[in-house]
Amino acid sequence: MKPETIGLVLIGFIMVLSIGAFFYTPYDPEHIAVLERFRPPSREHWLGTDHLGRDVFSRLAVGARWSLLIGGLGVLIGGMLGTILGAAAGYFGSKLDELLMRSADGLYAFPVILVALLAVTVLGPGSRPVLLAVAVGNLPVFMRLARNQVLKIRNEPFVEAARALGASERRILFCHVLPNAAPVLLVQAVLSLAGAILAEASLSYLGVGIQPPHPSWGRMLREAQSFAGLAPWTVLAPGILIAATVLGFNLIGDRYAQGR
């Protein structure tokens, strides 16, 4: 079975799960029933219950929505902004290029987690600092990529031809260069999404990401850690799901990235 097919299957499954969760979950993910705590997986609770008696499956399904939303939005914002800046750098060159690339280098010095921690101190814990951190983290990546793509493409023959025919620089940029750069950027977006999901999970694990009572995969692992021996399913299920999602995106992205 081809790797990208596996990837598509995994992502497809996660998508169905998270979208389906809008309409139906076996239980209310936030419903506490302390007498039902630590039930192992069964027909009533497909993945068992956690330390407060909440249904793990329902929480995972709703948590998927949050992870994908935050990851997706962060990559979108960071990606678009980065692309614009990078394309400008590549297209207009010289001083602007220098300035933007130096800034990108500077941003590289800030690992996503560090940005998130600083954002947390300003905004308080929650989904916003995570979003900010993911966006900022992707900025230099897309800047560099867009810039390099633009540099490569602007000297292609068909672009020269367009210029010879009298097309304005602006028209060339938007109608010829960027559309050709798009595939590569999209692939990067997919790969970045994988990283964003991991980042969100890590931040929620540290306690500074998505806050209760909203379910979040990372936070579920944080709460489950104390009970790993007592209720292993509370630790295994979220971890496997995170891995599956990230793997899925990586497989898809890698297949098409090879063309790079």
Partner 1 sequence: MKYTLTLIVLAAVCVLAPAAAVSGASLRIAVSADPDTFDPTQAVAASTVEIAFNIYEGLVKAAPDGTLVGALASHWEVSPDQLTYTFTLRDAFFHDGRKVTADDVASALNRARDPNVSARWSDFALVESVEGSGSEVVIHLSQPNAAFLYTLAEINAAIYPRDAQGLASRPIGTGPYRLVEWRPNQYVRLERFEQHWSGHLPYYDEVVFRIIPDQNSAVLNLLSGDVDLIPRMEASVYHQVAYNPAVKVEAGPMNLVQILAINNQRPPFDDIRVRKALAMSINRDEIIYGAAWGFAQPLYSGISPAMSAFFNDSLADVNPYDPERARELLREAGMSGLHFTLTLPADYPLHVQTGEIAAQQWKAIGVDVDIELVEWGTWLERVYTQRDYDVSIVGLAGRLDPHAILVRYTTGNSRNFFNFSSSEFDRLVEEGLRLQGPERAAAYKRAQEILAQDVAGIFVMDPEQLAAMRREIKGWAHYPIYVLDAARLYE
Partner 2 sequence: MGTYLLRKSVSFITVLFVVSLITFVTLQVLPGDPALLILGTESSPQALAALRSRLGLDRPAAVRFGRWLVNFVRGDLGESVRYNIPVSTLIRQALPVTLNLALWAVALALAGSVLVGVLSAAYGERWWGRLAGVLSRLAMAVPQFWIGILLIQLFAVKLQLLPAGGFADWRSLILPVLTLALPRTAVLINMVQVGMAGALRADYVRTAKAKGLPWGKVLFKHAFINGAIGVATAAGIQLVQLLAGTIVVEQVFGLPGLGQLLLNGVLQRDLPLVQAVTVLGAVGVLVTNLLMDVILAFLDPRVRFD
Q: What would the x/- binding string for partner 1 be over residues 32 to 61, using CB under 8 A?
A: x-xx-x-------------xxx--------
Which H, E and C letters describe 12-59, residue by residue? Answer: HHHHHHHHHHHHCCCCCCCCCCHHHCCCCCCCCCCCCECCCCCEHHHH
Q: Which stretch binds partner 2 (CB under 8 A): 12-20, 117-125, 146-154, 182-190?
A: 117-125
The alpha carbon of residue 200 and the mean position of all alpha carbons in its chain are separated, in whole angstroms, by 8
Q: What would the x/- binding string for partner 2 be over residues 195 to 234, using CB under 8 A?
A: ---x--xx--xx-----------x--x---x--xx--x--
Which entry of partner 2, partner 1, none binds 253, CB below 5 to 8 A by partner kind? Answer: none
Which entry of partner 1, partner 2, none binds 213, CB below 5 to 8 A by partner kind? Answer: partner 1
In the bound state with partner 1, the residue whose beta carbon lies nearer, of 168 and 226, is: 226
Q: Which residue has the tokens 């220098």?
A: 98
How many residues in total does the chain contain? 260
To partner 1, the closest distance from the beta carbon of 111 in angstroms equals: 21
Which of 52, 4, 21 shows the shortest CA–CA distance to 213? 52
Q: What 3-state DSSP class applies to 156?
A: coil
Using CB under 8 A as the binding rule, whether residue 226 contacts partner 1 is answered as: yes
Report the distance separating Cα 243 and Cα 246, nearest Å: 5
Residue 179: burial class (beta carbons within 10 Å; 0-12, 13-18, 19+): exposed
Which H, E and C letters describe 108-130, residue by residue? Answer: HCCCHHHHHHHHHHHHCCCHHHH
Query: Within 13 Å and on the Cβ side, how many CA atoms surround 225?
Result: 9
Among 152, 211, 247, 257, binds partner 1 (CB under 8 A): 211
Whole-angstrom Cα Rg for the chain? 22
Among 151, 247, 255, 256, binds partner 2 (CB under 8 A): 247
In the bound state with partner 2, the residue whose beta carbon lies nearer, of 120 and 139, is: 120
Using CB under 8 A as the binding rule, whether residue 167 contacts partner 2 is answered as: no
Using CB under 8 A as the binding rule, whether residue 5 contacts partner 1 is answered as: no
Q: Which residues bind partner 1 (CB under 8 A)?
A: 30-32, 34-35, 37, 51-53, 124-125, 207, 211-213, 225-230
Q: Which residues bind partner 2 (CB under 8 A)?
A: 3, 102, 105-106, 108-114, 117-122, 124, 194, 198, 201-202, 205-206, 218, 221, 225, 228-229, 232, 235, 238-239, 242-244, 246-247, 250-251
